[in-house]
Amino acid sequence: MASKFTGTGVAVVTPFHMYGTIDFSSLEKVLNHIIDGGVDFVLALGTTSEAATLSKDEKNAVVNFFIETVNKRVPIMLGLGGNNTQEIINTIKSISFDGIDGILSVSPYYNKPQQKGIFQHFKSIASASPVPVYLYNVPSRTSSNMTAETVLKLANSVSNIAGIKEASGDLGQIMEIINGKPKDFVVLSGDDILTLPMLSIGAEGVISVVANAFPKEYSEMVALGMKGKFNKARVNHYQLLEIISTLFADGNPGGIKAALDKLGICGNNLRLPLVKVNKSVNYKLSVLIDELLSS
């Protein structure tokens, strides 16, 4: 069965008021800005959403707001992962998936399981899930790499595992996955700066941060790359390259929230322990955005 999650997906931010509560009015603006910009799907409660600092009630409220606001215009993926397998399974069993089309589940962090443990973790989650599960490999955050061998074992033996968001930055590992995967298993970029190179070796999309701010430009690049029109796609890639680098210079989602604030879409407010980007990064982003908008 063809995946609903190809092309440009967006790991959507959670806007906050200055006093810390969720700014749902701005979240509506962000979602409409993204969808009107031509993206293919959205991710609720990913890393960029600051899900780690949201309460259970807040997470439920955000998901319900996504379903209502998106209103089936694009598919919705739900971030649902952790390092306690049984707790994730219990959460899956406790929630309704009406309006949710898939799960993105990060590889277990902190307790640094063996590859055998990672395999059993995802096999158990996939068995409990009523919707397709997408793996998320991001060693820079988890301190544990999910190897190509483990990914391919899951892809070939667990029917409800439909793809992976790959953010290892290791193109050799990514090529090994793409070369050995089943036809319907989707490889998505998890790193905005490497999306075009990944498309050139067979990836089928991205879960993007920068597309919160520039959905049109970024989704155009992805669409061109997926059609093999790399000369045209490179124009968009290099147009956004310095902005992407600067967005991540002082951490995510600090950079993208500074950009969205500059664009007047949502305020630049984060929850501790995250703080705003420093003044020099903020100034550079402002200059780069002005240059992009005037080009």
**Burial class of residue 95 (count of CB atoms within 10 Å of its CB; 0-12, 13-18, 19+):** middle
d(CA 255, CA 217): 18
Annotated active-site residue in 136, 181, 218, 257: 136
Question: What tokens appear for 209 in the block?
Answer: 């941060």
Instruction: Check if 283 is active-site.
Output: no
Could you give the dihedral angle defined by the CA atoms of residues 185, 170, 147 and 254, in that order, rounded to the nearest 10 degrees?
A: -80
d(CA 62, CA 77): 13
Maximum separation of any 2 CA atoms in the chain, in Å: 52
Instruction: Check if 109 is active-site.
Output: no
Catalogue the active-site residues. 136, 165
